[in-house]
Amino acid sequence: MTIDIITVLPELLESPLNHSIMKRAQDKGLLTVRTHNLRQWALNKYGQVDDYQYGGGAGMVMMCEPLANAIEALQQLTTYDEIIYMTPDGGQFNQKTANKLSMQQNLLIICGHYKGIDQRIRDHFVTMEISIGDYVLSGGELAAAMVVDAIGRLLPGVLNDETSALFDSYQDGLLAPPVYTRPAEFRGWPVPAELLTGNPKIIDQWRQEKSEEITKQKRPDLLAE
């Protein structure tokens, strides 16, 4: 899968996408992430990509022309399944969306800054708008990094144990069960006996019950869905 990202701050994406599992995904050739500095398509030598908003009001708006030129230049090289705009007024990102996007070949992500991007780019180029939550970040980069991470780890072959994403929280609509590691007793606090039985049936049943119990306790809304 290839993910192109248009941004005015490529530096913000470098570290989160070049370590750990995302690094492994790219080293293995399963994921290609390319950041493109919007200033390459700036209107003038000052690197201008934003301007005051019509109608007045504080905050700058990212202009149509640099964005349209950037998108069209990238479209010359790649056909995108989705052109995604990161924005707090987009659809709420969740595991279902991550699963769906992980099955695509080519994605283009646009990171907004300042007051956001000119509405005409949203109307005429963007095919999907994603929010990572009901709060406002200073730009779309950190949100984009989260989305790329959530998608990237789902690509076949990325995780060491291929089945491990299957047991993530949300993957089956439930939160994940608690996990324990050695020692079997710490400060008088024991690991649940079921996990020490070595019996897969007992262990699976315990995990399923715990998942349901925890989901009911912490996120009853997931069960209602």
Sign of CA dihedral 15, 86, 89, 63: positive
Smallest distance, Å, CB 65 to ligand ADE? 22
**Cβ nearer to ligand ADE, comparing 117 with 174:** 117
User: In the complex with ligand ADE, which residue's Cβ is closer, 140 or 177?
Assistant: 140
User: Which one of residues 102, 131, 211, 215 is an interface residue with ligand ADE (CB under 6 A)?
Assistant: 131
214: left (phi over 0), alpha (psi -120 to 50) or beta: alpha
Interface residue with ligand ADE, options 43, 64, 137, 195 (CB under 6 A):
137
Near ligand ADE by CB under 6 A: residue from 8, 12, 42, 86:
86
Q: Is 16 a residue that touches ligand ADE (CB under 6 A)?
A: no
Min CB(12)–ligand ADE separation in Å: 12
Gap between the Cα atoms of 209 and 176, Å rounded: 11
Q: Whose CA is closest to 109, among 62, 78, 135, 147?
A: 147
Region binding ligand ADE by CB under 6 A among candidate stretches 39-47, 53-61, 99-107, 128-136: 128-136
Nearer to ligand ADE by Cβ, of 70 and 143: the residue is: 143
7 binds ligand ADE per the rule CB under 6 A: no
Report the nearest approach of ligand ADE to the CB of residue 193 (Å): 43
The region of 42-50, 97-105, 126-134, 197-205 touching ligand ADE under the rule CB under 6 A is: 126-134
Which residues lie below 8 Å from residue 95, measured CB to CB, with a gap of 6+? 150, 168, 169, 170, 171
- 159 is written with which tokens? 């995780």
Q: Please say whether the beta carbons of 22 and 152 come within 8 A.
A: yes
For residue 174, which of 210, 215, 207, 218 has the smallest C-alpha distance? 215
Helix (H) or strand (E) holding 91: strand 82-92
DSSP 135: S
Q: Of 132, 150, 158, 165, which one interacts with ligand ADE (CB under 6 A)? A: 132
Q: Which is nearer to ligand ADE, 4 or 207 (CB)?
A: 4
Q: Which residues bind ligand ADE (CB under 6 A)?
A: 86-88, 112, 131-133, 135-137, 140, 143
